[in-house]
Amino acid sequence: MKVSIIGATGYTGEELLRILANHPQAEIVHITSESQTGTAIESIYPHITGFYDKTLESMKDLDKLADSDVAFIALPHGHAMEAGKRLSAQGVKIIDLGADYRFRDVGVYEQWYKVPHTHPEANAVYGLTELNRDAVKEATIVGNPGCYTTASILALAPLVSCQLIELHTIIVDAKSGVSGAGRSLSLGSHFTEVFENLKAYNIAGHRHTPEIEQALSLLAGETVILSFTPHLVPMARGILSTCYASLKAGVTASQVDEAFQSLYQKEYFIRLLGRGGYPSTKQTRGSNFCDLGWHIDSRTNRVIVVSAIDNLVKGAAGQAVQNLNVMFGLEERTGLEQAPLYP
């Protein structure tokens, strides 16, 4: 497969390069950056020296990327639609790691992201692979999920799809490493602001909220509205999502166990730690795994699910490569069987 990466100098673009260096079926033909055009990629990311001998191009001439079988777009929201529209019209499959193709209702996208959607006819597929695999197989444009959303939806999907919880009681409390903020400089991600600090942000207004609600509403067959609070923690990588909900009357712990087993027991990248399990970010670091553990609080009749992923891998580039494999009929694990990094 001939692969291009549009926006190769951000953290997700770099992570795509790292993962695809070990993918036996992927040939990188174009990598782009508007701020670093003409620069050798290894001078920006020396850790991939020897893996690629490529210079960053501009995406202004999109037609030259039409020799690609697939283009990953790793750009901020609002910038993928032009490239997606033009390249898909020329037969190039698109995997967008931003938000532009994640929503079925473009009005929801415009409400939360405050930019017009210029490719509403795209018929994109939401690329949470474990839940939408059959649709991804046939897709020409995939909207790769966000990092918080991947961890949270995978945690809650068994409970919602099996109708075990009161939907109006869902609360998601999630924590992310600083790389989730991207590579661009900002005061909030400076070392002195982050080190020895923990803070919540965008309470009741984070843009991943409607994305989680969209996926869970489709599973439930009715509208789901939930509370989502993200936090920034002083580490480079990782998402830990702790999800709470009240069990419906009469639901037993064994029913909860069975819901997770029935949905995920055949999923290679979902590791079930079981009832009483405690996922942690270090156990998934650098890998495409999502670790899940759940607890029943009989005193409050709540279920608490803990989900851990690497935000740059399962929460971004790794899931994008997983979708690539599904779209092109390859073994889903291809290029992704790295064990987590530890310690």
- Catalytic (active-site) positions: 147
Contacts of 223 (CB under 8 A, 6+ apart): 213, 217
Longest dimension (CA), the chain: 63
Measured between alpha carbons, how far is 207 from 111 in angstroms, rounded to an integer? 10
Q: What phi, psi does 2 have (nearest 5°)?
A: -90, 120
Question: In Å, how far are 65, 141, 328 from 87, measured between CA atoms?
Answer: 8, 10, 17
Paired strand residues for 57: 32
- Residue whose C-alpha is closest to residue 209's, from 228, 231, 181: 228
Paired strand residues for 95: 72, 142
Measured between alpha carbons, how far is 181 from 161 in angstroms, rounded to an integer? 31
Measured between alpha carbons, how far is 95 from 5 in angstroms, rounded to an integer? 10
Measured between alpha carbons, how far is 207 from 317 in angstroms, rounded to an integer? 19
Q: Tokens standing for 203?
A: 């309470």
